[in-house]
Chains A and B, each alone.
Chain A
């Protein structure tokens, strides 16, 4: 049984006529990195809100079906306790800063204060995370005066300092430049190395192809594909359903059209280079 289990889950927001999630069934295991892809307004953020327990505790609405976290029905989960076990980072870097702390150091420590961590330990953890995420130079800055990318890194640091088991991350790079995106993926890679469970909503499928263990594709509130990253991202039928696929998969398709066939569909850049090199030489 997975850590998070959904069985025929349908959810409708309050006052909405149509459900945002439809008949969803999936099982997420501990320690894995799940990439969530799909078109805009397809239900990805609602899916995150459900996994994080904000549905049905924060967004009341109508929840039908069976949803469990660690064997406990999501309706009965204490969301305050859940917040100590599941970190949540979302796309807007400007609303993730508490706004009530004067330095980045204090901002990162805020979650630890809320968890009742002793002062000495708190300071050590903040230093550790700042070094890990390479944001030592920001520690004395006012978090309200940081750029979008810097704020997003501070938001990651704040959640990582809390050392939660699961990270639900909703489009963290949507407002960032390529450099900022790269640094966020480095952070996510670090989380993966630490054995955390990661659920990442992301449009940048090339990066997901590099890092994710499994991919879930959502469209119109339904799961349309789910499985190993390579299997899902090499499924060309997803293109017809509005799901973007990695550039290497698209290149492979173009090569096929020109009669050039690779032994397998490459989903990552490195795989593509390797297969092309083998083909050429």
Chain B
């Protein structure tokens, strides 16, 4: 029996990394403030600065690899695509390049950069939050704040379902492959193999739900008593609370300033 492992449950959960050990609600608050601030600053330089900031924070939190492996897909898919569409079709006066219906102007490039910076900043903050916050910690804090354990289970279970569906899809694809069906190759071939799998995959997931709910009932999930917790998180310290207040006040000032600029 590894008592070192067991003893970790006797203490509030800590990883030793300052960023990861922030309270999940603090992280959520910071994610929203930092992710939404570019919408009010309305400057792509600020937006891209936030993107760089999130990359640095991910490295400091020790999750750069997992953060960036997901983030670059967003950068490529949404960033480049949105920029190209905006740059090519947004209206503007100072024409740089024109070909058939495409008209790239100085204004359209600025507009493209602006929208891309907003999307990337918000998605960056969200992905970073997911990467540095274990969902069980987040739902634990939600329950501490009075959210029903049913809601917290639904959140956790939904995240797990994504993983389960991926694994089940892989199993079905492998069995298809064993039957001689081509599951590898170009995108079209992969799509041909994958699309017929979607139906059984979803039906299996639905069929499993009934047994899953019985299994949870067997664990006294709805027992009429107050639940306790094996893993607990440390309470947010004063420094953390001050940090949140400062960020929230700055964000409030930003919103007020932006509204004032619109009105005046």
Query: Is B236 among interface residues, defined by CB-CB distance under 8 A?
Result: no
**A98 contacts B5, C-beta separation under 8 Å:** no
**B9 contacts A118, C-beta separation under 8 Å:** no
Chain A residue contacts of B220, Cβ below 8 A = 80, 83-84, 111, 114-115, 162
Chain A residue contacts of B2, Cβ below 8 A = 136, 139-140
CA distance A84 to B134 in the complex (A): 29
Q: Which of B78-86, B102-110, B181-189, B226-234 contacts its partner?
A: B226-234
B: contact size bracket? 35 or more
Cβ-closest chain A residue relative to B208: A95
0 or 1 for each of A95-118: is its CB under 8 Å from B? (1 = yes): 111111110011001111111111
Q: Which of B19-27, B44-52, B62-70, B209-217 contacts its partner?
A: B209-217
CA distance A84 to B227 in the complex (A): 13
CA distance A79 to B221 in the complex (A): 11
Chain A residue contacts of B211, Cβ below 8 A = 90, 92, 95-96
CA distance A58 to B217 in the complex (A): 10
Q: Which of A2-10, A119-127, A185-193 contacts its partner?
A: A119-127
Query: Is A54 among interface residues, defined by CB-CB distance under 8 A?
Result: yes
CA distance A197 to B232 in the complex (A): 35
**A119 contacts B228, C-beta separation under 8 Å:** yes
**B6 contacts A88, C-beta separation under 8 Å:** no
Total residues of chain A contacting the partner, CB 8 A: 49
Q: Which of B87-95, B113-121, B153-161, B245-253 contacts its partner?
A: B153-161
Chain A residue contacts of B212, Cβ below 8 A = 95, 99
Query: Is B222 among interface residues, defined by CB-CB distance under 8 A?
Result: yes
Contact pick for B218, options A83, A116, A120, A127, CB 8 Å: A83
Knowing A113-B229, A123-B230 touch, does A81 contact B219 (C-beta < 8 A)?
A: no
Chain B residue contacts of A118, Cβ below 8 A = 228
Query: Is A38 among interface residues, defined by CB-CB distance under 8 A?
Result: no
Query: Is A266 among interface residues, defined by CB-CB distance under 8 A?
Result: no
Chain B residue contacts of A117, Cβ below 8 A = 228
How near does chain A come to B159, taking the closest CB pair, in angstroms? Answer: 9
Query: Is B242 among interface residues, defined by CB-CB distance under 8 A?
Result: no
How near does chain B come to A94, taking the closest CB pair, in angstroms? Answer: 8
How near does chain B come to A74, taking the closest CB pair, in angstroms? Answer: 15
0 or 1 for each of B1-22: is its CB under 8 Å from A? (1 = yes): 1100110011000000000000
Query: Is A87 among interface residues, defined by CB-CB distance under 8 A?
Result: yes
Query: Is B164 among interface residues, defined by CB-CB distance under 8 A?
Result: yes
CA distance A80 to B149 in the complex (A): 15
Query: Is B240 among interface residues, defined by CB-CB distance under 8 A?
Result: no
CA distance A84 to B211 in the complex (A): 18
**B230 contacts A116, C-beta separation under 8 Å:** no
0 or 1 for each of B156-170: is its CB under 8 Å from A? (1 = yes): 110011011000000
Query: Is A253 among interface residues, defined by CB-CB distance under 8 A?
Result: no
Cβ-closest chain A residue relative to B222: A80
Jot down 15 A-B pairs with beta carbons below 8 A, ordered by A.
Answer: A78-B224, A80-B222, A87-B218, A98-B216, A100-B136, A100-B153, A101-B136, A111-B219, A112-B230, A113-B228, A113-B230, A115-B225, A139-B5, A140-B5, A144-B164
Starting from the known contacts A90-B215, A113-B227, A136-B2, 16 additional A-B residue pairs (CB-CB under 8 Å) come to A80-B222, A80-B224, A83-B222, A84-B223, A88-B218, A96-B218, A97-B215, A98-B216, A100-B156, A105-B6, A106-B230, A112-B228, A114-B219, A119-B9, A119-B228, A123-B6
